[in-house]
Amino acid sequence: MESKPRMLVILDVITSLLFLTAVGMVFFYAPLEAVMGQVQRVFYFHVANAWVGMLGFMVAAISGIAYLRKGDRKWDIVGLSAIEISFVFFFTAIVSGSIWARGSWGTWWTWDPRLTTAAICELVYAAYFLLRQGIEDPDRRARFGAVYAILSFISVPLTFISIRIFRTIHPVIIGAGGSGAEGSFDMSPRMLHTFIFSLITFSIIFADLLWHRIRLGKLAEEAENLRLKTLQ
């Protein structure tokens, strides 16, 4: 196994420091929200997790296009890695959102347009793993996975715009909501600083994890190639 790249080691250190700083900002820098209280602090990591989820799904769609154009399986590794990481982060966003909802709305779950589309999006990508598990041939698996990653990305912008076009109680953080939107959430300067810092931090965490997962994916591909050779 090749040694860990020096840049990856540096990125690991930077990622850890940024995450610790983000946690400190959430609990000690950002002020207490007047209406929701302490539960509002979940918001910073909730949105950041959702952002990483959508970011990774976009990377997977782009990787799918690259694979279909070039036929290089390295793009399949990138796409699979991105979806695996984002699937976990998006699930964390749903769980943390439920915690926030319990404190804000008095219920763990409601079939609000944003929550509903987010759940559908997560299930769509869960099916991606089932699809790959059912295909033995690596090239065929990569091709089907690429097509699925591209098509399933439709659920991502749908989730993002759902609170902007439907009547919803979910707050709109970026941009303006639809005319029927009931949710609202105003941030003070310190809240905004913490929010932006959390988004940047989690983006770097995603890049760090993606690099690690791609390295692991290359080793897995080598092992699979050896297995296939022994079966011939």
pLDDT of amino acid 111? 83
pTM above 0.75, yes or no: yes
Environment class of 93 (CB within 10 Å of its CB; exposed 0-12, middle 13-18, buried 19+):
buried
In a domain, 1, yes or no: no
> Residue 144 belongs to what domain range?
6-231
Confidence category of residue 180, pLDDT binned at 50, 70, 90 = very low
Please tell me the total count of domains within the chain: 1
In a domain, 45, yes or no: yes
217-230 pLDDT tens trace:
988 887 777 776 77
Mean pLDDT of the residues in the chain: 87
80-136 pLDDT tens trace:
999 999 999 999 999 998 888 887 778 888 888 888 889 999 999 999 999 999 998
CB count within 10 Å of CB 159 equals 24
Pick the closest to residue 125 from 101, 94, 103, 98 (CA basis): 94
In a domain, 191, yes or no: yes
